[in-house]
Chain A
Amino acid sequence: MNKETLIKQGGIWVFILVELAFFSIAGEFLSVTDVAFMDYGNMLLLLKQSAPIGIIALGMTIVMINGNIDLSVGATFALAAIVLLDSMTWPFMQALGDWAIPLAWLFALLTGTVLGAINGLIVWKTGVDAFIVTLGAMLGYRGLVFMYNGEQPTSHLNWTLVDFAEAQFLGLHTATWFLLGAALVLWLVMTRTVHGRNAYAIGNNREAAVNAGIRVGPHFLWNFMLIGFLAALSAVVFYSESGSVNPNDGMLYELWAITAVVLGGTKLTGGYGSIISTLGGVIAIQLLRKGLGHIGADTETVNLVIGLILIAVLFLDRQLNRRGKEELKT
């Protein structure tokens, strides 16, 4: 790894260290509880809480590297959650006992993948910008969510499922394992496979990619299916434990995911970014939320601060990168 990429990809981790140090010290004076910020249990919980947005953000990374964006993930997340919980109440599913669980998961994941495929196909076949297509899909899929059960929450609590979701393996929660597992797989996909390589190329210079004989459309489709799948996976992980979904759940998730991705250094214009850095971005945001809560800030303040920090970090990143490669004729 050369110096340039080190500066770019190391930045987010330095930022995390700064956050940790800041909240540990500030916590000594301002904390509302006696527990130290860097408490082991606290950190494990933090990872677990990062998982729902985190898994979606991983998908957002590959879509954005590819030069697209997906605004419909929040709605996909909610719809997959409804399918997950509702399907377990269907008579034939209940007859299966605990075997209904894997089936319900399958249904939910399938829902997400299909919704993603719809986005991907439209972007591919019509050539309409992904921003517009998925903006429409965001409204449309959310409409489906409301059609399903009106304003009512959809609930079903399965204790086997709850046990599974709350289990800890080697200290880490189930949700954390899913986050890390998904990150590992996607990292391999993006760095080691042809699909990953081509996704970068398309995002960076679509025309050159076409000239090199790369089919742009199928790569788009794959990435939208992947992010749909991941949005559903995120729902599976989260609602296995909570057992109840409101029709408004998952709102603004797309924006939180994009925030994490951008914080991790992925370019909005495509062609550049890394899965690992997105993981850093996700953790950094969760640290901020938790840390600010730890020193007694309320939710509104937290959002304001995150917004400001996002802009500040991106500005800093720009300055650093300009130093690295001044030739940008801005």
Chain B
Amino acid sequence: MTDQTPALRLEGIVKTFPGVRALDDVSFAVMPGEVHALMGENGAGKSTLMKVLGGIHQPDEGRIFIDEEATVMTSPIQAKARGVVFIHQELSLADELSVAENIFLGELPRKTLGRVDWAALYARTDDILGKLNVGFNARTRVGELSIANQQMVEIARALTVDPRAVIFDEPTASLTDAEKVVLFDVIADLKARGVGIVYISHRMEEIFKITDRISVLRDGQYRGTLNTSETDEDEVTQLMIGRSLDLSRNHAHAELGEVAIEVRGLSCGKVYRDISFSVRRGEVVGFYGLVGAGRTEIAETIFGLRDPDAGAIYLDGKEVRIASPIDAIRHGISLVPEDRKGQGLVLGMNCRDNMTLPQVDDMTSSVFVSERAELSIFDHYKDKLDIRTPGWRQTVGNLSGGNQQKIVIGKWLSMNPKLLIVDEPTRGIDVGSKAEIHNLIRDLATQGYAVIVISSEMPEVLHLADRVVAMHQGRIVREFTAEEVTEDSLIQAISGIGGNGAAQADVTAQDAGCSRPH
């Protein structure tokens, strides 16, 4: 590839934020037709580097070349005009607009007098959506889509122009396996057309499946580039975190205690039906299924965010009614929600205040909040979860994606819950911290907590759970013990017995029969 000129090249990029040197003299190049992985821990500077490239941030120093031509990127619009398309880690869609309007936002096709050419708009959009093989159409309102499908809309945006380079910042974080396959096809197609692709992800399997080269950042510094075919996970991890990880750590399974929660015959409109299961103290139960299978909604019901139509919930053998999160918290239930930005964090608040939000009430000395108690909680979980932030005063919105997730996890762990429900707990979290969080979850179980893990990542479920509940279209299809579960049997179960895995069930809050009252 040395005889070619790079599709894009960054040279000596430096970018500082107050208190953080996010990028320190980083150079990086992508060849045409190459899929180039960018890896690094949470907060290493991956997103920042790409935002510099995409015209969102201006670098303090350094230069950008497109086809070896020096360019100054002043805005995302200009970057797109120069052929650099950016698919963001965090969704940035207008909920009230249609899919088509979102995809062509800022460049709606026009007729005379500035009128929108709706026919052309919908035709072009359906064309793009056809390539992506999705279960919604151009006129669907974006707010009605699941997160996974919203992610597909973001991806569709990149296909409206003829790009030189496309940046994917953790695109698969909320995609199902079926959707990932579609995404990888799209990437292969772009690659064949000679487009340079930057692919950011924390998932090793993907990286080794689709990328040609891997560049690693660590603490804002460039650490080197490896050819994917000549390296392995261990070497990449070494480069990323400076040590290797023993991922195969065999967890001591805890002594099982009493049944902490039992759910009998829970139903909620068309979202899920007739759900019965139980979790004992010291046990981790994994819920696995396609996005839309109803797992999140069950969690929301247990946490008091939804009212079920039928069924009952028993805690410690006693039937309880959980009408609101307040009830749930009082009963010692914690939920780490799947959408950290929308449901988990108060982005404009600082790190400490976010972490202690559910319990400031209990930390008042006289009328005032006890800041010392809050700080000690924050410091404890900052160390325990290795949260990278210049200090507790930092606004959470300024943290890297993975560190934001750690704040949410810290928040709910600090409540010392009896039952901890985690929905996609390691979405967007780097390998080191992921292992850390997994250990933490297992430790909690050992200490006698009951844990429910909802995950779309099969390795995570297999690794963590003592028991796996497989769901398909709102029903529990099978339960496996850790001994009997295998990848194949699980895939078979969640795709409907004998069915094909392409069930595009997209149950949304809108068409759901049972409401989310809060």
Contact surface of A with B, Cβ cutoff 8 Å: 2-4, 188, 192-194, 197-198, 200-201, 204-205, 207-215, 271-272, 325-327, 329
Which residues of the other chain, A, contact B360 by a CB distance below 8 angstroms? 194, 197-198
> Is there an interface contact between B346 and A2, defined as CB atoms closer than 8 Å?
no
B365–chain A nearest beta-carbon distance, Å: 10
Closest A residue to B367 by beta carbon equals A193
B481 at the interface (CB under 8 A from A): no
Which residues of the other chain, B, contact A207 by a CB distance below 8 angstroms? 342-343
Q: A213-B328, A326-B57, A327-B51 are in contact. List 14 more A-B contacts (CB 8 A).
A: A2-B19, A4-B395, A194-B360, A198-B360, A200-B348, A204-B349, A205-B345, A207-B342, A211-B335, A213-B326, A326-B56, A327-B56, A327-B398, A329-B88
Contact surface of B with A, Cβ cutoff 8 Å: 18-19, 51, 56-58, 76, 88, 92, 303, 305, 324-326, 328-329, 335, 337, 342-349, 353, 357-358, 360-361, 364, 367-369, 393-395, 397-398, 411, 518
Closest A residue to B335 by beta carbon equals A211
> Is there an interface contact between A214 and B357, defined as CB atoms closer than 8 Å?
yes
Which residues of the other chain, A, contact B411 by a CB distance below 8 angstroms? 212
B105–chain A nearest beta-carbon distance, Å: 11
Contact of B326 among A197, A215, A272 (CB under 8 A): A215
Which residues of the other chain, A, contact B353 by a CB distance below 8 angstroms? 197, 200-201
Closest A residue to B363 by beta carbon equals A194
> Is there an interface contact between B325 and A211, defined as CB atoms closer than 8 Å?
yes
Q: In the complex, A201 Cα to B350 Cα: how many Å?
A: 11
Contact of A192 among B345, B368, B395 (CB under 8 A): B368
Question: Can you offer 20 A-B residue contacts whose CB atoms are under 8 A?
Answer: A2-B394, A188-B368, A193-B369, A194-B361, A194-B364, A197-B353, A198-B360, A201-B353, A201-B357, A204-B346, A204-B348, A205-B345, A208-B344, A211-B305, A211-B337, A211-B343, A212-B357, A212-B358, A326-B56, A329-B88
Which residues of the other chain, A, contact B348 by a CB distance below 8 angstroms? 200, 204-205, 271-272
> Is there an interface contact between B347 and A204, defined as CB atoms closer than 8 Å?
yes
Contact of A329 among B92, B324, B325, B368 (CB under 8 A): B92
B484–chain A nearest beta-carbon distance, Å: 35
Q: In the complex, A201 Cα to B345 Cα: how many Å?
A: 9
> Is there an interface contact between B56 and A197, defined as CB atoms closer than 8 Å?
no
Q: In the complex, A272 Cα to B411 Cα: how many Å?
A: 21
- With A197-B360, A214-B357, A325-B398 as known contacts, state yes or no: A209 contacts B368, CB within 8 Å: no
Contact of B56 among A193, A204, A329 (CB under 8 A): A329
Closest A residue to B47 by beta carbon equals A327
Q: Which of A188, A210, A272 has the most CB of B within 10 A?
A: A210
B116–chain A nearest beta-carbon distance, Å: 22
Which residues of the other chain, A, contact B325 by a CB distance below 8 angstroms? 210-213
Which residues of the other chain, A, contact B88 by a CB distance below 8 angstroms? 329
Q: In the complex, A198 Cα to B85 Cα: how many Å?
A: 39
B440–chain A nearest beta-carbon distance, Å: 20
Closest A residue to B58 by beta carbon equals A326
Which residues of the other chain, A, contact B344 by a CB distance below 8 angstroms? 208, 211
> Is there an interface contact between A205 and B346, defined as CB atoms closer than 8 Å?
yes
Closest B residue to A329 by beta carbon equals B92
> Is there an interface contact between B368 and A208, defined as CB atoms closer than 8 Å?
no
Q: In the complex, A188 Cα to B348 Cα: how many Å?
A: 20
Which residues of the other chain, A, contact B393 by a CB distance below 8 angstroms? 2
Contact of A208 among B57, B303, B342, B369 (CB under 8 A): B342
> Is there an interface contact between A200 and B349, defined as CB atoms closer than 8 Å?
yes
- With A211-B337, A212-B358 as known contacts, state yes or no: A271 contacts B346, CB within 8 Å: yes
- Report, nearest first, the 6 A-B pairs whose CB atoms are least far apart: A212-B358, A213-B329, A192-B368, A212-B357, A204-B348, A204-B346
Closest A residue to B368 by beta carbon equals A192
A62–chain B nearest beta-carbon distance, Å: 16
Q: In the complex, A231 Cα to B56 Cα: how many Å?
A: 44
Q: In the complex, A198 Cα to B347 Cα: how many Å?
A: 14
Q: In the complex, A98 Cα to B324 Cα: how many Å?
A: 51
> Is there an interface contact between A200 and B18, defined as CB atoms closer than 8 Å?
no
A18–chain B nearest beta-carbon distance, Å: 25
> Is there an interface contact between B367 and A200, defined as CB atoms closer than 8 Å?
no
Contact of B347 among A205, A210, A214 (CB under 8 A): A205
B325–chain A nearest beta-carbon distance, Å: 5
> Is there an interface contact between B346 and A209, defined as CB atoms closer than 8 Å?
yes
A17–chain B nearest beta-carbon distance, Å: 24
Q: In the complex, A272 Cα to B18 Cα: how many Å?
A: 20
Q: In the complex, A327 Cα to B86 Cα: how many Å?
A: 14
Contact of B346 among A193, A201, A215 (CB under 8 A): A201
> Is there an interface contact between B18 and A327, defined as CB atoms closer than 8 Å?
no
A275–chain B nearest beta-carbon distance, Å: 15
Q: In the complex, A271 Cα to B345 Cα: how many Å?
A: 13
> Is there an interface contact between B346 and A200, defined as CB atoms closer than 8 Å?
yes
> Is there an interface contact between B368 and A193, defined as CB atoms closer than 8 Å?
yes
Q: In the complex, A4 Cα to B344 Cα: how many Å?
A: 24
> Is there an interface contact between B57 and A327, defined as CB atoms closer than 8 Å?
yes
Which residues of the other chain, A, contact B337 by a CB distance below 8 angstroms? 211
Which residues of the other chain, B, contact A209 by a CB distance below 8 angstroms? 346, 357
> Is there an interface contact between B329 and A208, defined as CB atoms closer than 8 Å?
no
